[in-house]
Structure 1
Amino acid sequence: MKLALGIEGSANKVGIGIVREDGEILANPRHTFVAPPGQGFLPKETALHHQDHLVRLVHEALAEAKIGPKDLSCIAFTKGPGMGGPLVSCAVVARMLSQLWAKPLVGVNHCVGHIEMGRIATGAADPVVLYVSGGNTQVIAYAEHRYRIFGETIDIAVGNCLDRFARILHLSNDPSPGYHIEQTAKGGKHLLEMPYVVKGMDVSFSGILSFMESTAKQLLAKGELSPADLCFSLQETVFAMLIEITERAMAHCNKADVLIVGGVGCNLRLQEMMGIMVAERGGRLYAMDDRYCIDNGAMIAWPGLLALQQGQTTPLAESTCVQRFRTDDVYVNWR
């Protein structure tokens, strides 16, 4: 039975996953680079973090899976999109292992990795996908061997908006800024009206962030609103925007089910709001917890194995990274 080792490190999390061709995840350790409160993670510092932990994580994954290098069928790695330094650090290790162990390389699109991980983890067959993370915000549906993007952010990702607001409040980055916004929002009682920017199937979050950095910050300083009120208001607004464009995509594609993937997809309030809309349309919501929503190696190993089974491999000379690698650039020949 074929096995794939996947290496993910496109942002501040580095992970190694080992997956069997029947979809069984044998190992999936990861480590997160945590910046101080009020700061984001920079490419150079994140890349050095990944370099420090990659080899240890490979050993840990092999030991957990109780296999050796000879048992692997391929080495899958994140080709993009993502941050340049971290991506290259992981690609170098992938190339090294490929040559040391004489295993083929398979470059994987990070976004497609999230989708395929969601499908195998939840059993979703053909849903509309809401992909929400620190670097990406897209509404996606499968058609004719590609994951088609029906709507997306026209500026910053929803996760980036949440993270940058968390810096204003100096919320902890451990385990993530979004998690602390979610927890703080539970104490919110007053909903602040703020920009709601939906343009057809697309959304914009930069105006909301500017509003939160100025007007909302002034209200906070005057004591008119609490941090909990601001977190609550921000979540309710941006999540409502995401649900609107997801519902529009469902109607367009005539699909009843929704799958939420990406780091922001762990948010239980987002899942609750989406679940209400999907239930009203007679469909089912598929969602995951932080084991598979957040970046991990298994989400790279699994689509790498699917591609390998269709004869797709990545020559060493083409094993470069692409920071802007769109979801719909990938030919999905395993569906």
Structure 2
Amino acid sequence: MPTVLGLEGSANKVGAGIVRDGEVLSNRRATYVTPPGHGFAPGPVSRHHRAAILGLIEEALRDAGMGPKDIDGVAFTKGPGMGAPLAVVAAVARTLSQLWGCPLVAVNHCVGHIEMGRMLGAARDPLVLYVIAFSRRRYRIFGETLDVAVGNCLDRVARLLKISNDPSPGYNVEQMAKRGTRLLELPYVVKGMDVSFSGLLSHIEALAPSLLSSGEAAAEDVCLSVQETVFAMLVEVTERAMALCRATELLLVGGVGCNRRLQEMLELMCQCRGARLCASDERFCVDNGAMIAQAGWEMLRTGQKTPIEQSGITQRW
């Protein structure tokens, strides 16, 4: 079976991982961290990735006990994501493919998360939250966000509250939410199978400064309220999708999948339905190279390869 090197760099994390026959042989990652209250811009992130990626590849090869001659394919994130960081990783992948004389495989970032979850979760036929299911050998989308992704929503709340970005804003929001004692009423927007978070964000941006300055609520209360509201929306649409599909397994993937409170809420819903929740740990929920390698491995073993002339990035893929 092929051995695949995967390169990820769609946002502020850059990673290199090696996978062979359902086994993760190495998984190295570096994160670009900004000061509290700041997001990350494409330029600085791309420069961070450019400085880190070759070292990560060397470390991944060393961890796996391999050299370039042992790699059968180079997989990379084609999109979706931030343009400049994606372009850095794609350029490195193209170069390695030509230097090492092995095929190039362009991977969709979201499919990378899902395929890694399928490999680790040992789920036979799961519904997946990002709410997606695998039906008739294709991914079928039942619901989606109409505006902001849930991870971006939590990041923006952290930015508003000037919460540390180290190790990640979402993780720090989760820790602060554990200390919250008051549940604030926030906009709850579910439209059929879809969700919307922009109204909730606008509401917080308008009210949080006065609530915090007056002492009526603490930053911990805001974090608690955001988590409970946003996750309740996700659980509602996920349960509706499970009912539609008659699914007995739920696979949780993506960076927010690390959140223990979300896992608890989904676990309770699954128990009530007689279903099983499959969740990954932090090493593979957060963006990483191994998940791109796993998706690339699945593609390569079925003969899918990417010609150099088609290896450009697609930010909104």
Deviations 1:114-159 (A, max 9, x none): 001001112112111112xxxxxxx100112221111000011111
- Equivalent of residue 224 in structure 1, options 216, 219, 223: 216
Q: Which residue of 2 aligns with 1:53?
A: 52
Q: Which residue of 2 aligns with 1:247?
A: 239
Q: Which residue of 2 aligns with 1:70?
A: 69
**Offset, 1:221:** 1.4
* Equivalent runs, 1:175-254 vs 2, <5 Å: 175-254=167-246
Letter in 2 for 1:321: I
Question: How far apart in 1 are the matches of 2:293 and 2:220?
Answer: 39
CA contact (8 A) 2:249 2:277 kept: yes
Question: How far apart in 2 are the matches of 1:173 and 1:125?
Answer: 36
Letter in 1 for 2:226: L
Q: Which residue of 2 aligns with 1:12?
A: 12
**Offset, 1:36:** 0.9
* Equivalent runs, 1:79-158 vs 2, <5 Å: 79-131=78-130, 139-158=131-150
Partner-residue secondary structure (3-state), 2:34? coil
**Offset, 1:217:** 2.6
Deviations 1:280-329 (A, max 9, x none): 0001111122100000001000111111111110001101111111xxxx
- Equivalent of residue 295 in structure 1, options 281, 287, 293: 287
Q: Which residue of 2 aligns with 1:134?
A: none
Identity rate of aligned residues, in percent?
Answer: 62
Question: How far apart in 2 are the matches of 1:324 and 1:170?
Answer: 29
Question: How far apart in 1 are the matches of 2:97 and 2:129?
Answer: 33
Q: Which residue of 1 aligns with 2:266?
A: 274
Deviations 1:1-39 (A, max 9, x none): 420000000000000000012x11110000000011100
- Structure 2 residue 27 is matched with structure 1 residue 28: yes
User: What is the TM-score of this pair, normalised by structure 2?
Assistant: 0.99
**Offset, 1:94:** 0.1
Question: How far apart in 1 are the matches of 2:140 and 2:34?
Answer: 34
Question: How far apart in 2 are the matches of 1:283 and 1:216?
Answer: 38
Q: Which residue of 1 aligns with 2:301?
A: 309
Letter in 1 for 2:148: I
Deviations 1:217-267 (A, max 9, x none): 311111011111111011000000000000010011110211111101100
Range with greater deviation from structure 2 (89-98 or 216-225): 216-225
Structure 1 runs (4+) greater than 4 angstroms displaced: none
CA contact (8 A) 2:126 2:251 kept: yes
**Offset, 1:161:** 1.0
**Offset, 1:194:** 0.8
Structure 1: where are the runs of 5+ without partners? 132-138, 326-335
CA contact (8 A) 2:5 2:18 kept: yes
Q: Which residue of 2 aligns with 1:333?
A: none
Partner-residue secondary structure (3-state), 1:67? coil
Deviations 1:180-203 (A, max 9, x none): 110001111111111000000000
Letter in 1 for 2:155: D
Q: Which residue of 1 aligns with 2:2?
A: 2
- Equivalent of residue 160 in structure 1, options 152, 168, 171: 152
Structure 2: where are the runs of 5+ without partners? none
**Offset, 1:107:** 0.5
Deviations 1:18-66 (A, max 9, x none): 0012x11110000000011100010111111000001101110111100
CA contact (8 A) 2:2 2:300 kept: no
Letter in 2 for 1:117: M
Q: Which residue of 2 aligns with 1:330?
A: none
Question: How far apart in 1 are the matches of 2:121 and 2:209?
Answer: 40
Question: How far apart in 1 are the matches of 2:124 and 2:45?
Answer: 35
Partner-residue secondary structure (3-state), 2:142? strand
> Aligned-pair RMSD on alpha carbons?
0.8
How many matched pairs? 317
Letter in 2 for 1:219: L
**Offset, 1:216:** 2.8
